[in-house]
Amino acid sequence: MNGSDRRTAAACPCPVARDSLYTPVRVAELDLDEPSELRSPGGLGPVDPDGRVLALVRLHGHPLGLVKATGAPGDTAGLRRALVDAAHRELYIPSKSSAAPGALPGRVGSGRASAEPPTVSVIVCTRNREGMLRQCLDSLLRTGYPHVEVLVVDNAPSDDATEALVRARYLDQVRYLREPVAGLARARNAGLAAARGEICAFTDDDALVDAGWVSALVDAFQADGRVGCVTGLVLPAELDTEAQAGFEQYGGYSKGFTARSWSLSDRADDPLLPFSVGKFGTGASMAFRTELLRSLGGFDTATGAGTRSRGGEDLLAFFQVLTGGHTVAYQPEAIAWHRHRRTMDALTAQIYGFGVGFGAYLAAAVTHEPAQLAGLVRRLPRGLWQWQTVRRGRAHVACDGGNSQLRLGRKEFQGLLYGPFIYLFSVWQQRNAQAESRP
């Protein structure tokens, strides 16, 4: 098992026995500078867990990887020692000569500072989830970045609860916007239109962001002027249920702990480019140069959650940045913690939606850029073969013999086949609605 595999393998907790109930796993953070303390994700303070723990290991605040350990009830000191031992055994820990802050491998823009940091507009789209939204906004306001504005876009709400929360709790700290038409792409476009920052960053209302999230995104933009989009590391905020653990086992959102970047010049290394943008990151942690995203027309409103397409708006934006001649960078220092679906029914629906969204994205890509159709047809068989190989590999190591993973894989594939037709229908539906609305 190589270092990258070791860093990610710990995120797949399994029940003790095939027929037992799932045992919850507590997610925490461990900084090797302060090994006597474990902290909750998103800066929520110290914790003293017992039982099974999955910990993000840091050095000087920089993420190194994930490790897991099990502690006896009441023996938190022993649990911390076990996690530290696992970190030294399983992860690359830099020697003292190379462990200075900013010198760690995988960091984008290390040690580079701007005389005047750019303003960042952070856009959070939400719908009827005031409790999660409050925790998300609290984490955003702890980032400490000097030039940041936070915008909440309330998408087709059923009541005024979100607006009341923002007005009462975040007066003069958060700007409230309302997008009456349902659709995540529409909500993100509303935030994009109102953004005042040179960089616009997006996260979800069910995510918590790290204190260094905004700064890390900015670092990646400042390190290379060719970068038009930056994505970040997304880790589970909780693994309380079997469905949440199953999502991580299926692949989760994490793209690893090594910084990367992609441009069209990388086609020799990845023959599936520019269509294989799913490996770049996810909409729960992404940022763009504002004027570039506006010049691309923002997000395609026939895609995204809240529409029949169920997703794909983030993938299409990555695709358009890439085919526009810009670079997409992955910055693992930009950490967000995501609260996954808690039930198996919700997980199954989500994975099916991923398939529909990816199929819709492929249809949207060739609709926006018809010249790419021949390339897609040429690359599609290889892409499907790789996708099936990865899914079978994950099912092979699954806790239940792979049955649940195979079921999820079939649902995603069904959605993938359905997605292009759904996207075309969504486009037709929107055009008809626009025509009917004209006087």
Element (DSSP H or E) covering residue 207 = strand 207-209
Query: Which CATH superfamily groups domain 120-348?
Result: Spore Coat Polysaccharide Biosynthesis Protein SpsA; Chain A (3.90.550.10)
Least confident segment among 162-166, 265-269, 339-343: 265-269
DSSP strand pairing (174-179 vs 207-209): unpaired
Residue with tokens 């970190």: 87
- Confidence grade of residue 44 (pLDDT, cut at 50, 70, 90): confident
Q: What is the DSSP letter of 101?
A: T
Hey, what amino acid is at 285? Answer: S
Report whether pLDDT(7) > 80: no
In this prediction, residue 435 carries a pLDDT of: 78
Q: How confident is the model at residue 2 (pLDDT cuts 50, 70, 90)?
A: very low
d(CA 248, CA 338): 11
Among 198-202, 264-268, 274-278, the minimum mean pLDDT is found in: 264-268
CA quadruple 165, 304, 297, 269: dihedral, nearest 10: 120
Strand-pair category, 38-39 with 26-31: antiparallel
> Domain ranges in the chain?
9-98, 120-348, 355-437
What's the pLDDT tens digit per position in 226-262?
999 999 999 999 999 999 999 999 999 999 999 999 9
Local structure of residue 241 (DSSP, 8 states): S
- 270-286: buried (b, 16+ CB within 10 Å) or exposed (e) per residue? eebbbbbbbebbbbbbb
User: Among 181-185, 311-315, 316-320, 432-436, whose mean pLDDT is lowest?
Assistant: 432-436
Candidates 232, 206, 194; CA nearest to 108 is 232
Neighbours of 24 (CB within 10 A): 16
